[in-house]
Amino acid sequence: MDENSRRNFLKKAGAVTGATFAVGAPAVHVARKYNWRMVTAWPPNSPLLGEGAEMLARLIEEMSGGKLKIRIYGGGELVPPLESFEAVSQGVIEMGHGSSYFWGGKAAAAIFFTAVPFGMTAQQTNGWFYAGGGLELWQEVYAPFNLISMPVANTGVQMGGWFNKEIRTIEDYKGLKMRMPGFGGRVITKAGATVVLSVGSEIYMNMERGVIDAAEWVGPYHDYLMGFHRTAKYYYYPGWQEPSATLELFINRKAFESLTKDLQAVIKTAAYRMNLWILSEFESRNNIYLQKLINAYGVQLKRFPDSVLKALKSHTKDVMDELTSKDPMSKKVYASYSKFQKDVSAWAAVSEIAYNSILGL
């Protein structure tokens, strides 16, 4: 081997050796960072609802080590509140925060995942989602829209609403103009009411101007902050229309699937945490603010008469029969929901209901 050949050989050998050492050395990976946007169906800075969306974004950023950052836009800041579903579905925005019953016009079965009149409590609903097949059905309903969804909050049992006249019989609903979305709105329509749909930021103004005679929102804490006690004097219970109300995080499927598995797990885990936190906050604050409404502002707390509740329950059955007879997916979801409710109610009869009955002894 001549000198030139020898030198070329050594250079090639050195290159190979260097490559071998490089393989054994620690690899340096630059993790991709994501900057996403989330639109909500709530007014900007809305207590607990918008606050929950902001906290969710902070949790995701913290848990991801800064790899996934989310900027929040309240309803109307980027898109109108009720257009957030479409914006995320089309991939214009990556995430949304709202309530599935807002999208009942797009997918009839969607409304089952927020609340069902005379349905399950928050604890029971979570049982259906996480252990009874409810979450899988939710994904099936949203699949045609290129979306995945998951629970991100629950208000617990809501109030029946604010009224400017007393409800003594079911006939008092005739001609009543009321803000009530979802199944509840369909039920009171059966009773003769006129449903006026409006986003949260418009309810107070509509009550004040007489556009509506009554409205339901959430419960004492949130209703107090919204100022409804200044526009109506009767506050009715129980919240037959929403014995629990799930809020959702919905995500563009393509965007979600572009994330690494660990970031997908971060989002799911943060949503679990927020679902518990929001429910805990409402449970903690509602009675405090109910007493404030009664004692400091003279709000008249009223219970719906049994005859009214019985009539509303009958109308609820009619609404369910109509919906499930027309929409196969709604029939499938309701079959799962109602079976789980029947089974879990049998257990509740000998657990929580039985326990609550002995507290006054």
Q: What does the DSSP assignment read for 294-359?
A: HHHH--EEEEPPHHHHHHHHHHHHHHHHHHHHH-HHHHHHHHHHHHHHHHHHHHHHHTHHHHHHHT
16 pLDDT band, cuts 50/70/90, is very low
Name the class of domain 34-154+244-283: alpha beta
Q: Say how far apart CA 328 and CA 104 lie, in whole Å.
A: 14
Where are the strands (E) in the chain, listed by range? 34-40, 68-73, 95-98, 147-154, 161-163, 177-179, 194-195, 214-215, 234-237, 246-252, 300-303
Look at residue 153 and tell me whether its pLDDT is greater than 70.
Answer: yes
- pLDDT tens per residue, range 162-182: 999 999 999 999 999 999 988
11 pLDDT band, cuts 50/70/90, is very low
- pLDDT tens per residue, range 237-282: 999 999 999 999 999 999 999 999 999 999 999 999 999 999 999 9
**What are the extents of the domains in the chain?**
34-154+244-283
Look at residue 18 and tell me whether its pLDDT is greater than 50.
Answer: no
